[in-house]
Amino acid sequence: MPTASGHTTAIRATRAVGTDVYNLDGKKIGKVEDIVLDKTDNSIMFAVVGFGGFLGMGEKYHALPWATLDYDQDQEGYVVPFTRDELEAGPADTITELTKDDGLHARQEAYSYYKVDPYWH
């Protein structure tokens, strides 16, 4: 079954991890570093997108609701509907901290900050 943008709804995590992420201006802002799954709910909690660093130093990791990433074949990457300023001001931490306490705090912060309807209600 296709998504709203015409892509299939099934994707392997190994294809998503490492994929570049762009903002609405078409500028590369980072890449998908990981995907956090909600095992008991059979859902994707969030994508971990890393950006802001140089050669692995100073990179920030952001929990972005999976539904906000839309794959663009022309760019061969995901596009998110946020400006760089919005992303930089968003909740960020280490990957370890984002997944602490089953990732529930990071998930709540991300869905609230990016104003995405929570899938778990």
> Residue 13 — pLDDT band, cuts 50, 70, 90?
confident
* pLDDT the model gives residue 2: 43
Spatial distance between the Cα atoms of 57 and 70, rounded to a whole number of angstroms: 27
Write the pLDDT tens digit of every residue in 17-59: 999 999 988 999 899 999 999 888 888 999 999 986 665 566 7
* Averaged pLDDT for residues 1-29: 77
* pLDDT the model gives residue 33: 93
Could you give the C-alpha distances from 74 to 11, 28, 58, 103, 114, in angstroms and in order? 18, 13, 29, 32, 25
- pTM score: 0.84
Write the pLDDT tens digit of every residue in 57-97: 667 899 999 999 999 989 999 999 998 889 889 999 988 99
Token representation of residue 49: 């997108």
